[in-house]
Structure 1
Amino acid sequence: MDVLRPKIFVINGRQYRLNTDDCFPDDNINEIQTDIAEKLPSYVERDDTDEEYDDLNIYIEDGQCILKLEVPNIFFGLIIGRNRENLKNLEYQTKTRIKIPSSRENNMIIIKGEQRAFIIAAKSKLNAIIKKARFKQDVTHFISLPMINETVIDNYLKFKKVVLKEFGQCRGISEVLFQDHLQLHLTITCFVLCNAAEIKIAHKLMKDCEETIIKPMNLTSLDVLVSGLDYMNDDPSEVKVLYAKVTNPEIQVLADKIQTFFQDCDLVKPARNDHVKLHVTLMNSRFSQQANIVDENVDNRSHFTFDAKKIVEIFDNYIFGMVHLTEIHLSQRHTIDSNGYYKSSFVIQL
């Protein structure tokens, strides 16, 4: 065989050199070529990073790959940028054209490009922009466990009455700091849900969590003791949040598992650690900020805290009562239902 002019044969449109004469007899080359072609799958160039996007509904129209992506219009301004600079850079970097609808039209962003890879790159960059912007938004929903019954409410109102009467002169103490007695709860995970589509996604995740996490636990103890006080920082004279402690190891495990289930969801605020700090907020300096209460005679540091030193000394071991948990809610922040608790987007029965 002339090594400078080797035999060439084709498999699935690709040309291959036959380097030695003794590999296949000349009269069998066509038979071997056909047999190999039948056994080998066609080769497709592929980027391994595309695998997570296999379920994208990318379609081809007029020779262009197209993806329609529903995005809350609250993020449109950040995607577009001043003088459309962000959008221009995004299109240039990904070799795509991206159409942003007006806020009055719909929430559907349309991405067009010559290759699927360009579409995926654009979607990935859009997701990164949205994720970063989402965490700057206020929480809209949260997973809560209602911690209310007649005993707990009664003891909480007694606690509130004594605090206002005996310690109302302490810095920062006022009635506006107190949690509503019908909205006492435990918080597990917080969401930022910007439209109906995202709320629908959260509903599906709640159902999945119920089936894969909550039901398999076969919870046996749903009674939670609410007793004693603690605060979020090291100085009881500079407190932002004063809360009641809760006791139930099984519910602690449940809360941790629920948080872990949602930790990879882009709609959820990142958890501070792997262990949920179960607590029932009683007083919160943020409530005064929301009520727009400002004391011009108090500096900024003091304005956002209150002096709870005497409260903690007197009520350190105060027992609010035992609560039997019956439900897990996806609650809407800053709302009130007909029963006085937060309005619920989804409820899981325990």
Structure 2
Amino acid sequence: MFHIVSFWNLRIDRVVGFTSRCLKSKQERFRIMSFFRRNSAMDGGSKKEKMVNLVWRPISTHSSSVVYSEAAEGQCSKPSGVSERAPVVSSAKHSVSLEVGASLMKFIKGKEGTTQMKIEEEMGVKIIFPSSRNEDHIIIEGGSVDCVSKASERIATIVDEVVKSPTLDYSHFVSLPLAIHPELVQKLVNFQNCILGNNSLAGDKQDVQPVDETRLYTLAELGIEKSIFIKPSTFHLTVLMLKLWNKDRINTARDVLKSISPSVMDALDNRPLFIRLKGLDCMRGSLAKARVLYIPVEEIGDEGRLLRACKVITDAFVKAGLVLEKDANQSLKLHATVMNARHRKRKDKRKKMDTFDAREIHKQFGTEDWGEYRIQEVHLSQRFVFDQSGYYRCCASIPFPGGHRD
């Protein structure tokens, strides 16, 4: 017979490099959702067993130690920062289910499983990974609460280090979609075709022209190829980059965005907002060795409403602990990227070309007027996954004020 004994509260002393540290060192606390135990006396002396389901879910923002509370039954060696009530001798087997996120599994395993084996040997536990890549949980089994909790802390440290490093890429971002404007998408298609020499693909019913092989060779020398162009169907402005490595953090981000809709409307004075896209510029470096080429953004009316709305969004995600500290401290410069060398697809991975020569492109399009457009909504977008329109998968969205320009 099973009895619910108590809840444990597990507080991880290491916040995963997020904005909680820049807000008076807030810490994340994680709650073990349920704890079951089999009593040997009631089961005729059968082996005692505990099963704990642990979800890494922030439920508090202040903590500096690992704390457990346990009912009178049960005993384990007392780790640092652990408090117990009336411990008794027990030969229980313990297991914990941790929601770590599918994208982090490989870091817990390590190269050829070395990290996993080291934790198992040092802590006296067994780490069980899910059979499906879509599952977010791992299970830690051990002979005591102490060894299981220490293994959990070790995994928390691994997550901490990985999330703060470039090793784990951003999974989501807050975007202002621009690809919803067909006329702008067509201009971007024409821009790409003009540079790549595929003018036959632009406009209506043009005759197919043969591609000039000499031109292609010249483009290759300049470091220009199709893969470094931003897909017109994904054209957007980026407000904030996010690392949401498990379902719980994604759900939290959804809730945050939806909750601030009234505040965003207030920041925009409940009036439609229009922007002008004009010219081309280089993000750091020189045009001869460009990494990112973008279209500058101007708010029509220059009232600062767009930046105010973006600040409301950013502050809310920072407060929720969903933003890396380095990102929270950056000033926002809205821009619409059209070319990015980081997206280059290389057949030979040994050859590295992280720049391109944008001087001729800038000569031709440096003063281009791309048009004026209304910002219609804000998305929580998932990177590397796209909807039927070709835009990034929308996890949540809130509207901007509608209507026509005054």
* TM-score of the superposed pair, with normalisation by structure 2: 0.59
| Residues 242 and 218 (structure 1), Cα distance of their counterparts in 2 relative to 1, 3 Å cut | closer
Write the letter of the residue equivalent to 1:235.
S
Q: Deviations over 1:289-339 (max 9, x none)?
A: 2xx34599xx63xx2211101111222221111121111111121223122
1:134-170 CA-to-partner distances (Å, cap 9, x unmatched) read 3421222211111131332233233223323498634
Q: Which runs of 5+ in 1 are unaligned?
A: 1-46, 92-96
Tell me by how many angstroms 1:185 deviates: 0.3
Counterpart Cα distance in 2 of 1:293 and 1:252: 41
Q: Does 2:208 match 1:150?
A: no
Residue 251, structure 1, aligned to residue 306, structure 2: yes
C-alpha displacement of 1:280: 0.8
Distance 1:73-1:308 versus aligned 2 partners, 3 A rule = closer
Report percent identity of matched pairs.
25
Aligned CA distance change for structure 1 residues 309 and 273 (closer, same or farther; 3 Å): farther
Counterpart among 156, 180, 183 of residue 127 in structure 1? 156
Task: Name the SS of the counterpart of 2:385 in structure 1.
Answer: coil
1:102 aligned residue (105, 120, 129): 129
Residues 1:181 and 1:75: Cα distance change in structure 2 (over 3 Å)? closer
Structure 1 pair 338/204, CA: closer, same or farther in 2 (3 Å)? same
Question: What is the correspondence of 1:25-174 to structure 2 with a 5 Å cutoff?
Answer: 56-57=31-32, 60=70, 62-64=73-75, 69-76=98-105, 78-79=107-108, 82=114, 84-86=117-119, 91=123, 100-104=127-131, 107-109=137-139, 113=145, 126-134=155-163, 135=165, 136-148=167-179, 149-165=181-197, 169-170=218-219, 171-174=222-225
Q: 1:124 and 1:209 mapped to 2: Cα distance? A: 34
Deviation of residue 344 (structure 1)? 0.9
Match of 1:338 in 2: 388
Q: Is the 8 A contact 1:73 1:103 kept in 2?
A: no
Separation of aligned partners in 2, 1:53 and 1:257? 23
The one-letter amino acid paired with 2:386 is I
Matching residue of 1:226: 277
Return the alpha-carbon distance in structure 1 between the equivalents of residues 239 and 28 of structure 2: 30
CA–CA distance in structure 1, aligned partners of residues 252 and 380 of structure 2 = 12
In the alignment, what sits opposite 1:237?
288
**Aligned residue pairs, count:** 287
Q: CA RMSD in A?
A: 3.7
Higher Cα radius of gyration:
1
Answer whether contact 2:257 2:313 (CA < 8 A) is retained: no
TM-score by length of 1: 0.68
Deviation of the 1:174 alpha carbon: 2.3
Contact 1:238 1:308 in 2 (8 A): yes
In structure 1, distance between residues paired with 2:196 and 2:126: 57
Cα gap change, 1:55/1:195 in structure 2, threshold over 3 Å: closer, same or farther?
A: closer
Distance, in Å, in 2 between the alignment partners of 1:138 and 1:314 is: 34
Query: How big is each residue's C-alpha offset from its partner over 1:228-250, in whole Å with a ceiling of 9 and x where there is no partner?
Result: 11111221011111111111232
Shift of 1:283: 1.1
- Any gaps of 5 or more consecutive residues in structure 2? 1-10, 14-25, 33-67, 76-83, 85-93, 200-214, 401-406
User: In the alignment, is the contact (CA less than 8 A) between 1:71 and 1:108 conserved in 2?
Assistant: yes
Change (3 A) 1:314 1:73: closer
CA distance in structure 2 between the aligned counterparts of 1:182 and 1:144, rounded to whole angstroms: 13
CA gap of 1:146–1:52, structure 2 versus 1, over 3 A, is closer
CA contact (8 A) 1:243 1:283 kept: yes
The answer to whether the 8 Å contact 1:256/1:275 transfers is no
What is the letter of the counterpart of residue 310 of structure 2? A
Q: Matched residues in 1 for 2:240 and 2:117: separation?
A: 35
